[in-house]
Amino acid sequence: PTRKYQMFKWESRTRNRMVELWKSNSFLIIDEIGMVGGKLWGWMSRRLMEIQTQGNWNSRDLLGGKNLIIVGDIMQLPPVRDCNVFEWPCQYKTGEERELATFGHQAYMEIKDIVVLKTNERQKSNDPVTTRFRRVLDELYYGRMTKEDFQWIMRRDRRCLSEDERSTFAAGTHLFDTNDDKDEFNLLKLGRNKGPVARLVAFHKHKPSSSAKIEAKDFEGVPNELLIRPGVPVMLRKNL
């Protein structure tokens, strides 16, 4: 989602710090590019132009003189609460969002050189199961999966596996549809381990009285408290 701060220019102190940081950097590499929508492209374009011109959003170079290397598959996960940057025009609720996304689309169109990788390195084996799995993935990718393909791949649904097979995934990363399901699973795993549980409460150096009340959805997904226990892994999705 677009944050309010993406609609405004940097303060001079922040801009000077970023100019200094990017002074010796000529390349910006972005992975999972399919999840970068029009508004986020626009935000990146504006920031790169600010760095190049020290405050101007009207630079002729929409990429701020930087070389962008974008990597990923636009047919995989789509942007969150945004439109694909290559689908244009796209409907946005406000004029500010449309203006931001217009910057993004124009910046995206500056990308001229494209390299297509055609060999699937992850499923490179030629055994029958891997070969069929690779074919089914391709059919799913292009929207041509058959009922037979679906029934074949559903044999690997967790509910169809034996207890021995399920146990091999016990330490793996799990994906959930909702945050509530994720929180329930994490608490269950936390309770199975032995040892004391530490409760870490967020502290905001500017507003210490309100930090513990801020919900995760209002603070870029970062929870206001964290429960940890020795031996239980923690995944940090960003620099705290």
pLDDT band at 2 (very low <50, low <70, confident <90, very high): very low
Read off the tokens for 116: 């297509």
Three-state secondary structure call for residue 80? coil
Per-residue pLDDT, 213? 64
**Is omega for the bond preceding 79 within 30 degrees of 0, making it cis?**
no
- The rounded distance, in Å, linking the Cα atoms of 9 and 115 is 34
Residue 232 near residue 193 (C-beta atoms within 8 A): yes
Helix axes 38-53, 95-108, angle to 10 degrees: 80
Per-residue pLDDT, 210? 59
Going from the C-alpha of 167 to that of each of 43, 75, 164, 208, the distances in angstroms are 44, 32, 5, 43
* 45-93: pLDDT as tens digits: 988 988 888 877 777 788 888 999 999 888 778 888 888 888 877 888 8
Q: For the CA atoms of the chain, what is the radius of gyration?
A: 23
* 91-128: pLDDT as tens digits: 888 888 888 888 899 999 988 898 988 877 777 778 89
- The rounded distance, in Å, linking the Cα atoms of 207 and 134 is 52
Work out the average pLDDT over 168-197: 83
Per-residue pLDDT, 103? 85
What are the residue ranges of helices labelled H in the chain?
12-22, 38-53, 95-108, 128-141, 147-153, 163-167, 179-192
Three-state secondary structure call for residue 90? coil
Distance of CA 107 to the CA centre of its chain: 20
Total number of residues shown for the chain: 240
Of residues 225, 173, 217, 219, the one with CA closest to residue 197: 225
